[in-house]
């Protein structure tokens, strides 16, 4: 595929991801306040946050496998439709039970992340994938920035308006993706007579990640999992923390998300590419993990909003460096015929962490103190950084029975 065609596909995919994330972030900042108004406590709100990731866990690897078999495009369209249904339910939810149903539908739609990353791997040369994934991530973070601002305006019209606006945007996204997003995956070659058909096994791939955590694909997936757990634990209680500490409400929370989203865009568009060329994907991962650990540790320290605004910038810095690099490395280490499946498994592990993190964060917030979830997340990131240091410092794949793989340190992005 020509560079021009690849760039065109990437722009369309970025537009799709932008609108999808904008819809999600229209409703997400409001969820803790809506649930609290219905009588939910911090633990229940953590479970609501986790429901989204539970649905991702159930569907992520399935979507990845289906995208390998039938193509990326139909799976992306199906996921967008599921999200639209979830937003409509959110708009009319009048009970905690309906909020759970809406989160499950949104989570099923949110499983498109792994398929979108696989679309990038189909369309972009390996040496440019981290940069392309960074641009895709920047598009989603533009949605993170704009979505909460729309939310803050829509909620002043009606409590149902944010959900309905998100659903309308999602349906428009389906139409645009149907028209302008071509298929990226190459059709599978049918086996010749007597040739066994390839049978990529989700179960085998999952077992390999669990039993051989120091293999390159496995190690990167575990690091991604730890980062997602710490980040989403923070997200689950951040609105409650800001309300408790600074009096933030559903009418003002959106502006905090907009601020962080703007910082994320700057990082992904202006900083990530040069950083990868300078330090490689592994070096960028280390910096991201350190920034995330420091950010989580210092969030509870400021006594006012200006101080909070300063330290919270470490969070988008950390996530912008960490997550695109991990996705790029997974796509590079995976077998070519199993890239979609490997990225789907990465998303499945991420879904587990996004499910578990909000649960323990809600429990810790309610029973151990409002600052505790942030400090636990910081310790988790430091442990993950130590794991990366130990894994990258020795030959990988030395465990008995493990496949022969190259060490993590030998794979770097070309400086070109």
Nearest Cα to 104, choosing from 87, 88, 86, 91?
86
Q: What Cα–Cα distance (Å) separates residue 376 from each residue in 51, 127, 233, 320, 385?
A: 21, 35, 9, 21, 14
Task: Tell me the CATH number at 43.
Answer: 1.20.1250.20
Asked, for residue 165, whether it belongs to a domain, the answer is yes
pLDDT 10s digits, 141-171: 788 889 988 998 999 999 999 999 999 998 9
Whether 361 and 46 have beta carbons less than 8 Å apart is answered as: yes
Asked, for residue 12, whether it belongs to a domain, the answer is yes
Asked, for residue 141, whether it belongs to a domain, the answer is yes
Give the other-Cβ count within 10 Å of 410's Cβ. 11
Helices (H) and strands (E) in the chain, counts: 16, 0
Asked, for residue 194, whether it belongs to a domain, the answer is no
- The domain tally of the chain equals 1
Q: HSE-up of 218 (CA within 13 Å, CB side)?
A: 22
Asked, for residue 184, whether it belongs to a domain, the answer is no
Low-confidence ranges of the chain (pLDDT < 70): 1-8, 61, 111, 114, 123, 126-127, 129-130, 183-202, 335-338, 340, 391-416
Tokens, residue 239: 């609105």
Asked, for residue 415, whether it belongs to a domain, the answer is no
Asked, for residue 189, whether it belongs to a domain, the answer is no
Residue ranges of alpha helices (H) inside 247-338 are: 253-266, 272-298, 305-311, 314-333
Tokens, residue 300: 């509870």
pLDDT 10s digits, 24-50: 889 998 999 999 999 999 999 999 988
**Tell me, what's the pLDDT at 335?**
67
Q: Which helix (H) or strand (E) holds 161?
A: helix 161-180
Q: CA 178 to CA 239: how far, in whole Å?
A: 36
**Tell me, what's the pLDDT at 96?**
95
Tokens, residue 54: 């539970």
- The parent domain of residue 313 ranges over 3-179+201-410
Q: CA 171 to CA 177: how far, in whole Å?
A: 10
Asked, for residue 93, whether it belongs to a domain, the answer is yes
**Tell me, what's the pLDDT at 336?**
67
């Amino acid at each position: 595929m020509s560079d021009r065609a690849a760039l065109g596909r990437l722009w369309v995919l970025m537009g799709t991801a932008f609108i999808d994330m904008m819809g999600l972030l229209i409703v997400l900042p409001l969820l803790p306040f809506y649930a609290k108004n219905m009588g939910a406590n911090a633990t229940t709100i953590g479970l609501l946050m986790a429901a989204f990731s539970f649905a991702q866990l159930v569907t992520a690897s399935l979507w990845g496998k289906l995208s390998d078999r039938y193509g990326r495009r139909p799976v992306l369209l199906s996921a967008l439709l599921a999200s639209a249904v979830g937003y409509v339910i959110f708009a009319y939810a009048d009970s905690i039970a309906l909020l759970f149903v809406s989160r499950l539908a949104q989570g099923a739609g949110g499983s498109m992340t792994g398929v979108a990353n696989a679309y990038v791997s189909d369309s972009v040369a390996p040496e440019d994938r981290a940069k392309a994934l960074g641009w895709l991530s920047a598009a989603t973070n533009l949605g993170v920035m704009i979505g909460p601002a729309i939310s803050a305006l829509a909620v002043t019209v009606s409590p149902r308006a944010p959900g309905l606006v998100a659903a309308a945007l999602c349906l428009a996204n389906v139409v645009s993706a149907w028209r302008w997003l071509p298929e990226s995956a190459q059709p599978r070659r049918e086996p010749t007579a007597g040739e066994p058909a390839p049978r990529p096994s989700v179960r085998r791939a999952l077992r390999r990640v669990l039993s051989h955590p120091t293999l390159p694909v496995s190690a990167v997936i575990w690091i991604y999992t730890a980062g997602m757990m710490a980040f989403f634990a923070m997200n689950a209680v951040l609105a409650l923390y800001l309300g408790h500490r600074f009096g933030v409400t559903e009418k003002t929370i959106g502006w905090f998300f907009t601020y962080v989203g703007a910082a994320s865009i700057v990082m992904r568009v202006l900083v990530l590419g040069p950083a990868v060329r300078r330090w490689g994907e592994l070096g960028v991962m280390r910096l991201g993990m350190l920034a995330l650990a420091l950010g989580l540790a210092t969030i509870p320290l400021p006594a006012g909003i200006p101080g909070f605004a300063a330290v919270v910038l470490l969070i988008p810095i950390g996530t912008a460096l960490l997550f695109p690099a991990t996705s790029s490395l997974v796509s590079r280490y995976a077998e070519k015929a199993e890239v979609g499946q490997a990225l789907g498994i990465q998303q499945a592990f991420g879904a587990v962490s996004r499910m578990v993190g909000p649960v323990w964060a809600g429990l810790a917030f309610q029973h151990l103190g409002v600052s505790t979830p942030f400090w636990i997340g910081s310790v988790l990131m430091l442990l993950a950084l130590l794991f990366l240091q130990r894994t990258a410092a020795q030959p990988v794949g030395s465990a008995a029975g493990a496949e022969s793989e190259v060490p993590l340190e030998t794979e770097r992005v070309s400086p070109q």
